[in-house]
Amino acid sequence: MIEQQWKDSLIKPIAKYIGIDEHELEQLQFDIENDSSNDGLVYSTIIEFSEESAKELNGIVDLEDGIRLRIHPSELDLYDEYDYDFNYYDRDEFDSLIRDKNSKEKLLNEINDLKRLMEIELGVDSLKKILYRQIYIGLIGTMETYLSETFIKNVVDKEDYLKNFVETHHDFKKRKFELREIFQKNNALIEIAKTVMLDTIYHNLPTIQNMYKDTFKIDFPSIGKLYEAVLKRHDLVHRNGKTKDGESLNVGKDELNELITDLKEFVDKIESQI
């Protein structure tokens, strides 16, 4: 769901970059991927079109190898400071995120369910390989959900956290308005904050680490091992279990148990400070 939200949020800026209507872009077939360093620095966003869709863009935009568009982050501005939709976020989605008050309990319940799946005896190694891969993906998903719910609930509930978030998040630093608009902007502030929080990719741990530190003033846990797990999850999801170099990735029960331990320790350190 979060992955799809990220892709959906890029439709408008990508269409604007290409010079076509966003509805025209939605009719095309393409995949989106960030070219990033190991520490989360995004070098470029890569949009790879199907051959048929690439033909429709012939003469409109230059594509690498006839199918690929590479855009630098500075050219892909997700928020137009003069045309910001205050009601962009999905209210039902937002309400569902803040409805459950105990995000840690929810995470632990989901981990326990995934552990029960690990104990299923399938009798076929190829099926066990697929099952373990999906459990690994699910564990990273529980972490994303916990980080998003915990962040959003606390920012919405506590005015000091909202103030810290607005003062430190980069999407607010570039906004400008005239003094006569101050009351209008103030009234819309929480709506803008909700949109920015929902648009955030919560498995981008370097970004999330800074958001938690700046907003909650906490000592965020080390992200090294879990960020490696996030990168592996990316290969499991988007490359069917292979690296960029074509190397197959395997997931074993010991590795899953170690990831569960790391996740619980990670969450306990956050919970103890917020």
Burial of residue 183, with CB atoms counted within 10 A of its CB: 0-12 exposed, 13-18 middle, 19 or more buried:
exposed
Residue 40 confidence (pLDDT)? 64
DSSP 207-250: HHHHHHHHHH---PPP-HHHHHHHHHHHHHHHSSSB-TT--B--
Whether the Cβ atoms of residue 144 and residue 202 lie closer than 8 Å to each other: yes
Per residue of the chain (274 residues), give pLDDT as tens.
Answer: 556 666 777 888 888 888 887 778 888 889 998 887 766 677 788 999 999 899 889 888 889 889 999 887 767 654 444 344 444 455 666 566 666 668 889 999 999 999 999 999 888 988 999 999 999 999 999 999 999 999 999 998 899 999 999 989 877 766 666 667 667 666 677 778 888 888 788 888 988 999 999 999 999 999 999 999 998 998 888 778 887 778 888 899 999 999 999 999 999 999 999 8
Residue 82 confidence (pLDDT)? 35
Alpha carbons 21 and 11: distance in angstroms, whole number? 10
Residue 151 confidence (pLDDT)? 94
Residue 182 confidence (pLDDT)? 67
Residue 196 confidence (pLDDT)? 83
- Token pair of 3, please? 């992955």
Residue 184 confidence (pLDDT)? 67
Q: Domain spans of the chain?
A: 2-75, 91-271
Amino acid letter, residue 84: Y
Residue 263 confidence (pLDDT)? 96
Task: Say how many CA atoms lie within 13 Å of 162 toward its Cβ.
Answer: 13
Residue for token pair 């459990």: 135
* Predicted model pTM: 0.66
Alpha carbons 228 and 230: distance in angstroms, whole number? 5
Residue 271 confidence (pLDDT)? 94
DSSP assigned state of 64: B
